[in-house]
Amino acid sequence: MASVVLQDVTKIFSGPTGESICAVKNASLTVPDKRLLVLVGPSGCGKTTLLRLIAGLEEPTAGTISLDGQVINRVPAKDRGVAMVFQEPALYPHMSVYENLAFSLKLRKCPAAEIRRRVRGAAEMLDLVACLERKPQTLSGGQRQRVALGRALVRQPRVFLLDEPLSNLDAILRLQLRAELARLQSELGVTMLYVTHDQTEAAQLGHQIAVMNRGAIQQVADPMTLYRNPANMDVAGLMGAPPMNILHGQIAQVGDALYFQERAPDSTRLARRIAFRLDPELAAPFRPFIGREVVLGLRAEHIFCVDASSAPADTVAAAGEPVVELVEPLGWETLVYLATAAHRLAVRVPPAQAIQIHQRVSIRLKARAAHWFDPVTGLTIASAANS
């Protein structure tokens, strides 16, 4: 296997009228040997382009790509020892599963005995032994995707690149193959880069996650660090299910106390405007923002639709009574969506708690767990340690 290092990699394409389109911007990234790193971000953020650059299917405009210390910018794709699995399995329809798995090895003129050994090993690992003589059209979607994975496995590459390989499968199959991928990576000890737009998939698979947006890498960390300490609004809004609640407002001073007041588009919604006092011990970073706009981030588990007698002791009451827009029972919990003066909040509540659509509710907040962002730069102002 191999470690992968990207140093200030940029890729610029020419648009239809000759304009420059920056798909990847100054990306620096290290994937240690035998680790699984997930690239996650919205569509069009540059994830697939970055994977194609590592595979050698695109050439970087600037920067270097190294495998085990060797710069491979000019090394042809076929000589990099990298295997890529795409979103579509793209199997040869006229070949059996065995022939699909063996095809790349035959091109490399591997001995017949070695081909049989590798194909059989991959088939056993992926539970495809009973399918070896079948054609792709007779397989289920999950089986076809496992064959695509098997084609990569038999090559015994230094690095595996997977570009949203599960996105076309139904939910149950995705869960099954996700677990299978995690098991394979652990058993084989292979270096993997996995691209997805699904942050839940990223959190379940990745030893580390690189969050991308607008061609740039925003933050690289383990899943819980990204969840608890996002570096900016892009990461905060992406990681978590549901995503972090984002409220725009301003810091106001009343006497010696500082308050957050949600932005309200008009006077008719003032009754739903969220406002609360900032903890005096944590207020110092916000004094330069008095009278200015800030962005508040709160996770769904840090908002409570309860009164003071039953709320956790470390919560503060928020002024305003948002309206319940949607109640989503999930069995183990219920998600409640509240309409405030200008935003929509997702709140986790116990399944037994009775909340009705159109109901006005009072809320309490775990303000020490809040995240605060500069609306201009998107960067963190202050972030309390989540409890």
DSSP-assigned states of every residue in 336-361: EEEE-SS-EEEEEE-TT----TT-B-
- pLDDT tens-place string over residues 313-343: 789 989 999 999 999 999 889 999 999 999 9
CATH architecture of 35-62+73-238: 3-Layer(aba) Sandwich (3.40)
What pLDDT does 156 receive? Answer: 85
Q: What is the pLDDT of residue 383?
A: 53
| pLDDT at position 199 | 85
The more confident residue out of 59 and 126 is: 59
Token pair recorded at residue 257: 């106390």
Residues recorded for the chain: 387
Average pLDDT over residues 110-117: 94
Domain boundaries, the chain: 35-62+73-238, 245-383
The model's confidence at residue 386, banded by pLDDT at 50, 70 and 90, is very low
Which pLDDT band holds residue 197 (cuts at 50, 70, 90)?
Answer: confident
pLDDT of amino acid 95: 94
Q: Report the mean per-residue pLDDT for the chain.
A: 90
Task: Read off the amino acid at residue 77.
Answer: A
Q: Is the pLDDT of residue 387 over 50?
A: no
- pLDDT band for position 177 (50/70/90)? confident
Closest CA to 50 of 167, 200, 162: 162
The CATH class of the 245-383 domain is mainly beta
% residues pLDDT > 90 (the chain): 61
Query: What is the C-alpha to C-alpha distance for residues 340 and 324, in angstroms, rounded to an integer?
Result: 9
* Main-chain dihedrals φ then ψ at residue 66, nearest 5 degrees: -125, 140
Identify the band that residue 153 occupies on the pLDDT scale cut at 50, 70 and 90.
confident
pLDDT band at 207 (very low <50, low <70, confident <90, very high): very high
pLDDT digits (tens, 9 = 90+) for 50-97: 999 999 999 999 999 999 999 999 999 988 989 998 888 889 999 999
H/E run at residue 324: strand 323-329
More confident of the two residues 172 and 309:
172
Provide the 10 A C-beta neighbour count for residue 38. 25
Burial profile 109-142: b = 16 or more Cβ within 10 angstroms, e = fewer: ebeeeebeebbbebbebbebeebbeebbeebeeb
Residue 316 forms beta bridges with which residues? 365
**Same fold across 35-62+73-238 and 245-383:** no
Give the per-residue pLDDT at 138. 94
Q: Are 320 and 262 in contact (CB under 8 A)?
A: yes
* Cα–Cα distance for residue pair 11/141, rounded to 1 Å: 33
Give Cα separations from 40 to 12, 30, 202 (angstroms): 20, 15, 7
